[in-house]
Chain A
Amino acid sequence: MKTFKGRPIVPGDVEGEAIVLDSISFYGDVDPEKGVLYDGRTIVNKILVARKSRGSTVGSYVIYSLKLHGKAPKAILLGRSEPIVIAGAVLAGIPLYNGLPEDFFKIVSDGAKIKVRRDGFIILDL
């Protein structure tokens, strides 16, 4: 078990399995109604982990749409976020954490169990 600190932008207490990408553009990378990535993996009810998000305006709408269709991730953990994702996560009420350290990205992989806490602690079950 290893603990990391992120900056809660939308705080929440959730637990789930990681789905890991290097970067994510919600517009283009994710089907907004099914929650499936371009490579076939699903983000539905997962803890979505990415070093950074890339911006396209429509990304906020896609996050909102995922929530409406019940296909949203449980939480989004990022190294660096930008306004597009923040707006989407706030509107959809999806826990969002920013500023996760590089060490975290080095060891996290698909399927890892993650506990996200409202105070910013991210607990990775190894």
Chain B
Amino acid sequence: MHLTREEERILAGELGWAKARALEVIVKVGEAVGAEKLVKISHAHVSGASYMTIGEAGRRFLEELAKAGARVEVPTTVNPVSYDIEDPESIPYTRIDSKVLKGQQAIMKALESMGVKLTLTCTPYYLDELKRVVKQGEHVAWGESNAVAYANSVLGVWTNREGGPLALLAAIAGRTYYYGPHVPEWRRPVAAFRLSRYKPLDSAEAGVLGYIVAREHKSERPPLVDAWFGGEGPLKEFLAAIGTASNLAMAYIPGITPLEPGNEFEEVIDLSEEDLKREMERLAPPGKPEIIYIGCPHSSTHELRELLLALKSRGKPKVEIVVSISRGLFTKALKEGLVDALRSYRVRFIKDTCLIVSPFSKYGKDVVIATNSYKAYHYLSRKGVKVGIASIKDMVAMAL
């Protein structure tokens, strides 16, 4: 691999032990995948921050790295943690015991001491501060799969699917390996999926479409997906499903992805309304929901407005609606009056966390959940929770 003189100096330890180790890992990974060089990054987003996910192993790793004096070289944000840091008891049915509380605090302390900003969200792309630091065409190192897909497919900001530790090490090194979406040639879609349909996809349908595309697409290069997404929520859910159900880092969406796609596809796959309907029926909620769950990945204010509209037209539901959201967007929605309006319809907000990375699944196995998120369905069902997928409108109707 070609290294600059500065990179050689970092590797030789002239800028500290931690930075040398971080760059060493990036170089080794790059060499293993055949990358020709490194690329400087302008931002990093670290996944795997919840104590429930990374446990003692992750905690020890982060603490040792912090103790060795590691510091991030670029602005760095981080994924959700195991509870709402200002209101740990806000997750329904769930108790946060002292082991989780202490483990999580240690993880956050280690991250913060390395200079990581504790945004605690899996949708960093909705944060105003991100829009200030990252410009289209720049290279970043993101770990969270839904954010990776969103960066490459919507923002035109290039990133590999780094995974948590690698994103953090790239942040410390200020660089990542030049591979995958970083390479212009690689971003050209190799297969095209077309969904002929005369109405836009809602968020639940978009997620299920993402799952179907992920299942059918065999390359690690991006698919082109020609479908009508009914707004920001559906786009986010589609990309999150792609990231969950495959190792893909990107989908090319005509009219959204800021690139020219080219038109040399190895195959064109036509999907029908029937294909989508069949999967929607298969994945429907297993009975009357006791919780309606929105905000996986963390909610946007668009989704909050969509939910409010649905509630206003149908009335107050009998079951609780749980929305997980970043603290950043929650504060914004609070100022806009959206939070209070939604709370009057039995909406409960959980910040900094979600039903997947919190200990919820330990306590909520017998609770029937309806969600508009394929990603939430995937992970909750794997943890043994009774869960199914429906649109926001249908879920509100079910809850009456």
Q: What residues of chain A have their CB less than 8 Å away from a CB belonging to chain B?
A: 7, 9-10, 32-33, 55, 57-58, 60-62, 64-65, 68, 81, 83-84, 86-88, 90-91, 98
Q: Among residues 159 to 209 in chain B, which have CB atoms less than 8 Å away from a CB atom of chain A?
A: 160, 162-166, 169
**Alpha-carbon distance between A68 and B166 when the two chains are bound, in angstroms:** 19
Whether the Cβ atoms of B33 and A83 lie closer than 8 Å is yes
Whether the Cβ atoms of B56 and A57 lie closer than 8 Å is no
Whether the Cβ atoms of A58 and B53 lie closer than 8 Å is yes
Whether the Cβ atoms of A65 and B164 lie closer than 8 Å is no
Instruction: Take A83-B163, A90-B24 as given contacts and tell me if A61 and B33 are in contact as well, using a CB distance cutoff of 8 Å.
Output: no
Give the interface segment out of B57-65, B89-97, B259-267, B338-346.
B57-65
**Alpha-carbon distance between A57 and B55 when the two chains are bound, in angstroms:** 12
**Alpha-carbon distance between A121 and B162 when the two chains are bound, in angstroms:** 30
Whether the Cβ atoms of A91 and B60 lie closer than 8 Å is no
**Alpha-carbon distance between A57 and B12 when the two chains are bound, in angstroms:** 28
For the complex, is B54 an interface residue (Cβ under 8 Å from A)? yes
Whether the Cβ atoms of B25 and A68 lie closer than 8 Å is no
Per the CB 8 Å criterion, the residue count for chain B at the interface is 27
For the complex, is B29 an interface residue (Cβ under 8 Å from A)? yes
Q: Point out the residues of chain B lying under 8 angstroms from A10, CB to CB.
A: 28
Digit string of B22-61 for contact with A (CB within 8 Å is 1, else 0)?
0011001101110000000000000110000111111011
**Alpha-carbon distance between A91 and B25 when the two chains are bound, in angstroms:** 7
* Complex partner residue of B165 from A7, A32, A33, A61, CB under 8 angstroms: A61
B27's closest neighbor in chain A, by CB?
A: A90
A92's closest neighbor in chain B, by CB?
A: B61
Whether the Cβ atoms of A58 and B24 lie closer than 8 Å is no
Q: Point out the residues of chain A lying under 8 angstroms from B48, CB to CB.
A: 57-58, 61
Closest 10 CB pairs of A and B: A65-B57, A57-B163, A61-B57, A60-B165, A61-B58, A57-B164, A57-B48, A90-B25, A32-B57, A83-B29
Q: Min CB distance, A71 to chain B, in Å?
A: 11
For the complex, is B247 an interface residue (Cβ under 8 Å from A)? yes
Q: Point out the residues of chain B lying under 8 angstroms from A60, CB to CB.
A: 61, 163-166
B160's closest neighbor in chain A, by CB?
A: A83
Q: Point out the residues of chain A lying under 8 angstroms from B19, CB to CB.
A: none
Q: Min CB distance, B128 to chain A, in Å?
A: 27
Q: Point out the residues of chain B lying under 8 angstroms from A58, CB to CB.
A: 48, 53-55, 57-58, 164
For the complex, is B143 an interface residue (Cβ under 8 Å from A)? yes
Q: Point out the residues of chain B lying under 8 angstroms from A88, CB to CB.
A: 165
For the complex, is B139 an interface residue (Cβ under 8 Å from A)? no
Whether the Cβ atoms of A32 and B56 lie closer than 8 Å is yes
* Complex partner residue of B60 from A9, A55, A64, CB under 8 angstroms: A64
Q: Point out the residues of chain A lying under 8 angstroms from B29, CB to CB.
A: 83, 86-87, 90
**Alpha-carbon distance between A90 and B32 when the two chains are bound, in angstroms:** 12
Whether the Cβ atoms of B166 and A65 lie closer than 8 Å is no
Q: Min CB distance, B386 to chain A, in Å?
A: 22
Q: Min CB distance, A75 to chain B, in Å?
A: 15
For the complex, is B21 an interface residue (Cβ under 8 Å from A)? yes
**Alpha-carbon distance between A122 and B110 when the two chains are bound, in angstroms:** 39
Whether the Cβ atoms of B61 and A64 lie closer than 8 Å is yes
Q: Min CB distance, B21 to chain A, in Å?
A: 7
